[in-house]
């Protein structure tokens, strides 16, 4: 991870203060107290090491040069002529330089490896997106081509064929829209909206799917209006994704409940189904883009819902166990006006 501008400034200030402080200790302590000076020299390794972490090889060598410039006058001033003592001092300066060179080199190499790995992950994600989109678009394209050919050759029921072509086109549109919604930055138009009405519209949109699956869709919201600052369009789409998932997970004769609970600072929307629930792996990856166990779908419904809810400064949690159904809880900022 590259250091931010603030972090770099912090490192520059910290390293400068550290070098000046160590140098001050050197020059303010009597030269005869060798043990103290030997300790001070070791402290110079700390700013050099920090320099390697923050700035790589070039920055580390520059910091070492500063250390050398500050320490050399002390070496010259305390020159005694004793061969072993002076060689030891000069050797220590050289050793600091080798440490700076080695630490900076390792830091640069590690940074390059991270950047390369990040590029590979980015390309892998692009490949995953392309593979998923192509796979999901392939079936409706085949259907459209096949039934359009039948229409052209005047084979079979033309009205039925047109309906199938239209449904396939709608499926393709949804896939493309999901990918675009996930990829592009989310711009909210926040207004004081009735949350109960948004929930009702989302459930109404999903009612046909519920009836087709013989699932009872039950809405439980307060009888009075509950206003919160939301983008009704995006929030409704997020709820449609979540309610639709709950219906798809439910069997014939089961219920899907959508309710709202009010608190002082938050309101909670709950979507509860009686489906088979999810295993641990699915639950851990439920918000991972393109992860899905369904035969159809891009695996973007839950990530998009999470993106919308978090853009509203809310949070979403999912509680599910195999055989016990699933409960989705959405918390949104809300202030009780009472």
Residue 279 has pLDDT above 80, yes or no: yes
Percent share of the chain, pLDDT over 90: 21
The residue among 94, 100, 108, 9 whose CA lies nearest residue 61 is 100
Are 296 and 198 in the same domain? yes
The mean per-residue pLDDT over the stretch 302-319 comes to 91
Are 98 and 176 in the same domain? no
Structure tokens at 11: 């490192």
Are 207 and 251 in the same domain? yes
Give the residue with greater pLDDT, 289 vs 230.
Answer: 230
| Alpha-carbon gap, residue 230 to 31, rounded angstroms | 70
In angstroms, the Cα distances linking 120 to 2, 107, 130 are 17, 20, 15
Between 14-28, 74-88, 107-121, the lowest mean confidence (pLDDT) is in: 74-88
Are 213 and 178 in the same domain? no
Mean pLDDT of the chain, nearest integer: 82
Give the residue with greater pLDDT, 271 vs 107.
Answer: 271
Are 65 and 160 in the same domain? no
Please tell me the total count of domains within the chain. 3
The radius of gyration of the chain's CA atoms, rounded to the nearest angstrom, is 33
Are 277 and 255 in the same domain? yes
pLDDT digits (tens, 9 = 90+) for 3-33: 566 677 888 888 888 888 888 887 787 766 6
Are 329 and 195 in the same domain? yes
Structure tokens at 229: 């600052």
Are 176 and 198 in the same domain? no
Are 158 and 211 in the same domain? no
Give the residue with greater pLDDT, 39 vs 139.
Answer: 39
pLDDT digits (tens, 9 = 90+) for 232-247: 988 998 898 899 899 9
CATH of the domain at 214: 3.30.565.10
The range of the structural domain enclosing residue 177 comes to: 132-183
Are 112 and 158 in the same domain? no
Are 159 and 225 in the same domain? no
* pLDDT at residue 53 in the model: 81
> To 10 degrees, the CA torsion angle through 161, 165, 170, 173?
180
Are 246 and 314 in the same domain? yes
Residue 338 lies in a domain: no
CA angle 113, 117, 121 (to 5 degrees): 170
DSSP, collapsed to helix, strand or coil, labels residue 269 as: strand
CATH of the domain at 169: 1.10.287
């Amino acid at each position: 991870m590259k250091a931010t501008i603030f972090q770099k400034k912090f490192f520059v200030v910290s390293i400068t203060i550290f070098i000046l402080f160590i140098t001050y200790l050197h020059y303010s302590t009597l030269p005869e107290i060798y043990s103290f000076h030997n300790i001070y020299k070791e402290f110079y390794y700390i700013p050099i090491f920090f320099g390697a972490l923050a700035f790589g090889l070039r920055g580390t060598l520059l910091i070492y040069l500063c250390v050398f410039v500050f320490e050399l006058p002390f070496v010259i001033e305390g020159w005694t002529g004793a061969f072993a003592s002076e060689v030891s001092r000069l050797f220590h300066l050289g050793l600091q330089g080798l440490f700076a060179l080695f630490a900076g080199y390792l830091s640069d190499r590690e940074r390059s490896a991270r950047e390369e790995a990040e590029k590979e992950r980015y390309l892998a994600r692009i490949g995953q997106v392309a593979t998923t989109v192509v796979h999901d678009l392939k079936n409706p394209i085949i259907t459209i081509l096949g039934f359009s050919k039948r229409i052209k050759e005047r084979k079979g029921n033309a009205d039925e064929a047109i309906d199938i072509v239209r449904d396939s086109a709608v499926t393709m549109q949804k896939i493309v829209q999901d990918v675009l919604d996930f990829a592009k930055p989310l711009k909210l138009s926040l207004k004081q909206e009735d949350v109960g009405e948004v929930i009702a519209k989302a459930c109404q949109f999903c009612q046909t799917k519920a009836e087709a699956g013989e699932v009872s869709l039950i809405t439980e919201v307060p009888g009075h209006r509950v206003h919160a600052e939301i983008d009704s369009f995006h929030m409704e789409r997020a709820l449609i994704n979540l309610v639709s998932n709950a219906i798809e997970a439910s069997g014939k004769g089961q219920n899907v409940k959508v309710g709202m609970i009010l608190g002082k600072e938050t309101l909670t929307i709950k979507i509860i189904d009686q489906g088979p629930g999810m295993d641990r792996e699915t639950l851990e990856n439920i918000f991972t883009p393109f992860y899905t166990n369904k035969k159809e779908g891009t695996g973007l419904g839950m990530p998009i819902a999470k993106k919308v809810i978090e853009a509203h400064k809310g949070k979403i949690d999912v509680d599910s166990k195999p055989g016990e159904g699933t409960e989705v809880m959405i918390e949104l900022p809300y202030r009780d006006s009472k």
